[in-house]
Structure 1
Amino acid sequence: MADIEALTAMIEPVVTRQGFELVRVQMINTEAGPTLQVMAEDEAGLLHIDQCAALSREISELLDETDPIEGEYNLEVSSPGIDRPLTRAKDFSLWSGHKVRIQLVEAVEGRKKMQGTLLGIDGDAVKVRLEDGSGQEFLIPRSEIHSAKLVLTDDLIAATQPQQMN
């Protein structure tokens, strides 16, 4: 399997050069086979189809030249979407107040999965209040988070709608 950190270091300058910010690089297994998934966004948190296509072409050229991945794979370049993964410190701050689903590397107080309200970030730890009725709050080091993703809610949809001009 490919070294994701090395791939990220290769891909990020391409993404930045096109004026976008890298959200995530990961290798996933799909029905079509191994897929290198690259998520990026512009300053508004979006990546339109023509931007995805241009970025995909440039990343594909780089990968063809350097051949860092053994075997066949697919390349998928996309926007993170509304119910986006949270990967950067700023994501946990920006989306504070919204529902989040977190999977931990190791269980904390018997829990390896948590769902609740994101309360922001404190240093390098994420604050979450569980939605199980207990109101219990956790401060989780980012290094202990395997994955975090926003949960699609009406509030999240409203927060991601373009502002209407009056």
Structure 2
Amino acid sequence: MANIEKRVTELVEEKLAEMPEIFLVSVRMQPNGKLIILIDGDNGAGIDAVAQISRFVGHFLEEENVIDHAYTLEVSSPGIDTPLTLHRQYVKNVGRTVGLKMADGTKKEGQLIAADENALTIIEKIKVKGKKAEEVETVVPLDQITETKVLISFK
């Protein structure tokens, strides 16, 4: 399976060379035969990008007979429930509210205001009993975060 994922990654990156605003998030070959390619873009990944990558990868997988068993090719952008994993995804989501799961088991929530290679900066609302919530700027090292998700508010 690692060889399939490696070859598919190469194919996707080859096609993405023509699409600099789109980037690869992940490639996973599941045991049930589903090949999942997740792409994203600095301004989102539209149906056109998904279709181009799907056609390109599908064509070469068939031509090269990379997968010798029945499989399903699924190309999409990460859903809202998919954690952020790449620096480029963090940068894209600056200004949005994120939920962080920390390595020590705690959780943080706040507006993402900056992201660099080593840390995220969020503005969290800290509630102190009997007082109005304060907004506090917090720098969180990436190595202390186990998961980051964009939170959607329906207010």
TM-score bracket, shorter-length normalisation: 0.5 to 0.7
Residue in 1 aligned with 2:52? 54
Q: Is the 8 A contact 1:24 1:39 kept in 2?
A: yes
- The aligned runs of 1:54-133 (5 Å cut-off) are 54-64=52-62, 65=64, 67=66, 72-80=70-78, 85-103=83-101, 107=103, 110-111=104-105, 114-130=108-124, 133=127
What is the TM-score with the length of structure 2 in the denominator? 0.63
Residue in 2 aligned with 1:44? 43
Q: Output one character per residue of 1:47-82: Cα deviation in whole Å (capped at 9) or x when no partner.
A: 12x542332121112233161x67544221113456
Unaligned runs of 5+ in 1: 156-166
Q: Is the 8 A contact 1:36 1:75 kept in 2?
A: yes
What percent identity do the matched residue pairs reach?
A: 25
Tell me, in whole angstroms, the C-alpha distance in 2 between the residues paired with 1:81 and 1:17. 24
Tell me, in whole angstroms, the C-alpha distance in 1 between the residues paired with 2:94 and 2:112. 5
Count of residues in correspondence between the two structures: 146
CA RMSD of aligned residues (A): 3.8
Tell me, in whole angstroms, the C-alpha distance in 1 between the residues paired with 2:69 and 2:145. 30
The structure-2 alpha-carbon separation of the partners of 1:145 and 1:47, relative to structure 1 and needing over 3 Å to count, comes to farther
| 1:139 counterpart letter in structure 2 | V
Tell me, in whole angstroms, the C-alpha distance in 2 between the residues paired with 1:55 and 1:23. 10
Q: Is the 8 A contact 2:8 2:57 kept in 1?
A: no
Tell me, in whole angstroms, the C-alpha distance in 2 between the residues paired with 1:113 and 1:54. 38
Q: Is the 8 A contact 1:29 1:35 kept in 2?
A: yes
Q: Is the 8 A contact 2:42 2:92 kept in 1?
A: no
Q: Is the 8 A contact 2:22 2:45 kept in 1?
A: no
What is the TM-score with the length of structure 1 in the denominator? 0.60
Q: Which has the larger radius of gyration?
A: 2
Residue in 1 aligned with 2:16? 15
Unaligned runs of 5+ in 2: 129-135
Tell me, in whole angstroms, the C-alpha distance in 1 between the residues paired with 2:21 and 2:116. 26
- The aligned runs of 1:140-159 (5 Å cut-off) are 140-141=141-142, 145-154=145-154
Q: Find the residue that maps to 2:23 and give its secondary structure.
A: strand
The structure-2 alpha-carbon separation of the partners of 1:35 and 1:112, relative to structure 1 and needing over 3 Å to count, comes to farther
